[in-house]
Amino acid sequence: MNRNRFSDAEIPYKILHKFGLTQEMIGDLPTHALSQIAEGYRSPVLPIKFTDEQGNIYRSRTRFSLYRTEDNRVDVLFYPQLQQACLDKFSEENRNKLQCDKAVIDTMTTADGKDIQAFLQIDKGTQQVIYIPTPVIGRNLQVIAYEFHLSNAELNCLRNGNPLTILADDDTITVGVDLNEPTGIRICAGDERKWSAEVKKDWEKYNYGCFGCWTMDEEGNLDYTPEEAYTDEMWEEMRRKGESRKSQVTTPKL
């Protein structure tokens, strides 16, 4: 599957709607999430609901991504949330690393049955094992090595899935392989402890859109509330945010 750019008109909303994700819900996702979906990357973990032929209703959570078929249609791939990752085929050493949220290099069987060497890691959101072929991450690591003048030993540290803390222009930064990032590499200010504990600030408790609001609970779960179902707290927070934006607008001088 090649990664392509997808326009809004190409998104198969009918398929997503069958799983309880309406066009309004998708459109109300924050800009950073929509941009990643449009680039073919995985969506945030979203709540879905579907009904089987017997009328039974099922609820779950999943990521999804768009892909273009050979006949140029755009379809959807789902990455459902699992109770726990299946790590039986990995060595004890690699199982331990994966359970500690580290990336490992191992053999992976692709959808067409080919065995390849890849970086693998557990996606915390779905508990699925995700992978990227080693040449892709290897190339990005070479760029990082050149940019920060890393030694072979430091580069090997990154290849082994371990975060590396270095000094860059008198600032302490930590670099590490993170397959949840678009480039497969994450850089943060601070030491390894901060890198390991870093939580993205892309989401707030209330994330308002045009038709409703995506809310994130303390465990990081996202749920959608249409505007007509807003609570008093949600209305008050929207009013507060609106006033905050107004106060940041400077009055032009005449």
| 243 inside domain | no
Same domain, 76 and 108: no
Residue-level pLDDT at 254: 47
Final residue in a domain of this structure, among 175, 197, 219? 197
Instruction: Say whether both 187 and 220 belong to one domain.
Output: no
Last residue of a domain, one of 153, 173, 197: 197
Q: Please report which confidence band the pLDDT of residue 53 belongs to, taking 50, 70 and 90 as the band edges.
A: confident
Do 7 and 65 fall into the same domain?
yes
Ordered strands of the 171-177 beta sheet: 164-168, 171-177, 185-189
Is position 157 within any domain?
Answer: yes
- Reported as a single tens digit per residue, the pLDDT across 81-111 is 998 888 999 999 999 999 988 899 999 888 7
Say yes or no: 62 and 109 in one domain: no
**Shared domain check, 8 and 76:** yes
The CA distance from 172 to 128, in Å, is 32
pLDDT above 50 (res 1): no
Beta bridge partners, 107, equal: 117
Q: Could you tell me if residue 86 is inside a domain?
A: no
Whether 244 is in a domain gets the answer no
How far from the centroid of its chain's Cα atoms is residue 195's Cα?
A: 16
The string of pLDDT tens digits covering residues 193-212 is 888 876 555 688 999 999 99
**Beta-bridge partner residues of 106:** 118
Q: Is 239 inside any structural domain?
A: no
Kindly state whether residues 105 and 115 are assigned to the same domain: yes
Residues 60 and 1 in one domain: yes
Q: DSSP letter string over the chain? A: -------GGGS-HHHHHHTT--HHHHHTS-HHHHHHHHTTPPPPPEEEEEE-TT--EEEEEEEEEEEE-TTS-EEEEEEEPPSS---TTS-HHHHHHHHTT--EEEEEE-TTS-EEEEEEEE-TTT--EEEEEHHHHHHHHHHHHHHHT--HHHHHHHHTT--EEEEETTEEEEEEE-TTSTTSEEEEES-HHHHHH----S--SEEE-SSEEEEE-TT--EEEEEGGG--HHHHHHHHHHHHHHHHHSPPPP-
Q: Are residues 66 and 41 in the same domain?
A: yes
Share of the chain above pLDDT 70, in %: 94
Within-domain flag for 57: yes
Q: Do 117 and 138 sit in the same domain of this protein? A: no
Number of domains in the chain: 3
pLDDT of residue 139: 92
Mean pLDDT of 235-241: 94
Q: Based on the fold, state whether residues 74 and 25 are members of the same structural domain.
A: yes
Q: Does the global pTM surpass 0.75?
A: yes
Residues 153 and 210 in one domain: no
Domain span including residue 4: 1-81+203-229
Judge whether 100 lies within some domain: yes
In a domain, 70, yes or no: yes
